[in-house]
Amino acid sequence: MSWTEWATTQLDELARAQRLRRTVAFDCDGPEGQVNGRAVISFASNDYLGLSSAPEVRAAAHNAIDRFGTGALASRLVVGTRSLHDELEAALAAWKSSARALAFNSGYAANLGVLTTLATADTTVFSDALNHASIIDGCRLARARTCVYRHCDVEHLESLLAQTDGRKLVVTETVFSMDGDCAPLDQIAAACRRHNALLVLDEAHDVFGVSKDAFVDVEVIRVGTLSKTLGSLGGFVAGPTALIDLMINRARTFIFTTGLSPADTAAAKAALQICDSARGEALRTELRRWIEMIAPAHPTPIVPVILGADGAAVAASERLLAQGIYVPAIRPPTVPMGTARLRITLSARHNLAMVSRLKEALDTKSTEIA
């Protein structure tokens, strides 16, 4: 069998299981745009505060291109670092109440960089069962011993920590990307404190922020993205100086790639200035308003509608699309078997009319979707 024939059989299997995926062009500026020539409102973006379209963010990207060109031209340890990178990293460190920060080309690369640098052969990693693929892959690449604890089950985590000697690293998302639920950080931090474990937090989807009060007397690494709350592109790691310096020297996903582009770096810096201001707080208040309309008391802008069967999720997504509402169907392997779902994400860029339209569509289809 040729490689092409093998690939075709794999694709056929995916199609039969209703898991064949294709890219969908969404031509937009904000939540309104076109999908296959159809006008739609998107409830699929991770641009939670709508900062990708903020005039100051756009202007910062344009100005960076005018000053530095379109690319970083080399890896960060050669000639790929600009003053913009240093400025962004200083701002990120302050934002996360950390000594230092380091920018990566994506959140995925940041997680891989952290885990492959810090999870050495004498380390045991304790990872939440529903952690993101980048964390799972980071654990595999690190080749450290990995123990998976039940989702958000601190009692299970504590028992695993108590049974383990040597260096320990606990890694969890703070907001889980497919369920929109939150890790019990106070309890996890307390377990790390008792067992002298390093705590690695993936805050990629944590638009409302994490209180630093939970981390007293705990060594913590904070991983984030520049592409969600900040509406740009890239990732970062914030933490103690020695650990950041070690990543500069050993994180392969930082060392062996061209640096983050000037435009993305400048855009992220400008977005952070908005995010960490009264205007940013107003945007978060607006976002909470839309969350309350769709899922009262839900803690995050990620709202899952779990349907179970892959076909049911695809059909529900298609019914909404026919009404001009784009909510993607999420299927295995992105989520566990039997938990295919609609994944609704809300943004401060949505308005009352848009969210009301979504709510009406969900209510109308409640017997079919809920």
Is position 202 annotated as part of the catalytic site?
A: yes
Is position 75 annotated as part of the catalytic site?
A: no
DSSP string, 136-184: HHHHHHHT-EEEEEPTT-HHHHHHHHHT--SEEEEEEESB-TTT--B--
> Which residue in 158, 179, 202, 310 is the catalytic one?
202
CA distance 92 to 133: 24
Is position 132 annotated as part of the catalytic site?
A: yes
> Which residue in 168, 205, 269, 350 is the catalytic one?
205
CA distance 66 to 364: 50
Non-local CB neighbours of 209 within 8 Å, separated by 6+ positions: none
> Which residue in 42, 98, 105, 132 is the catalytic one?
132
Is position 155 annotated as part of the catalytic site?
A: no
Task: State the Cα torsion 286-287-293-295 to the nearest 10°.
Answer: -150
> Which residue in 45, 46, 261, 347 is the catalytic one?
46
Is position 177 annotated as part of the catalytic site?
A: yes
> Which residue in 89, 173, 203, 264 is the catalytic one?
173
Is position 62 annotated as part of the catalytic site?
A: no
> Which residue in 177, 261, 317, 347 is the catalytic one?
177
> Which residue in 85, 96, 228, 269 is the catalytic one?
228
Contact yes or no for 236/102 (Cβ under 8 A): yes
CA distance 9 to 2: 11
Tell me the CA distances in angstroms from 172 to 118, 135, 210, 276, 338, one per residue in order: 15, 8, 13, 24, 23
Tell me the CA distances in angstroms from 34 to 42, 317, 326, one per residue in order: 9, 16, 10
CA distance 60 to 262: 10
Is position 205 annotated as part of the catalytic site?
A: yes
> Which among 296, 360, 291 has a CA at the least distance from the CA of 325?
360
Cβ neighbourhood burial of 273 (10 Å; 0-12, 13-18, 19+): middle
Backbone angles phi, psi at 74, to 5 degrees: -165, 175
DSSP β-bridge partners for residue 325: 41
Residues identified as active-site: 46, 132, 173, 177, 202, 205, 228
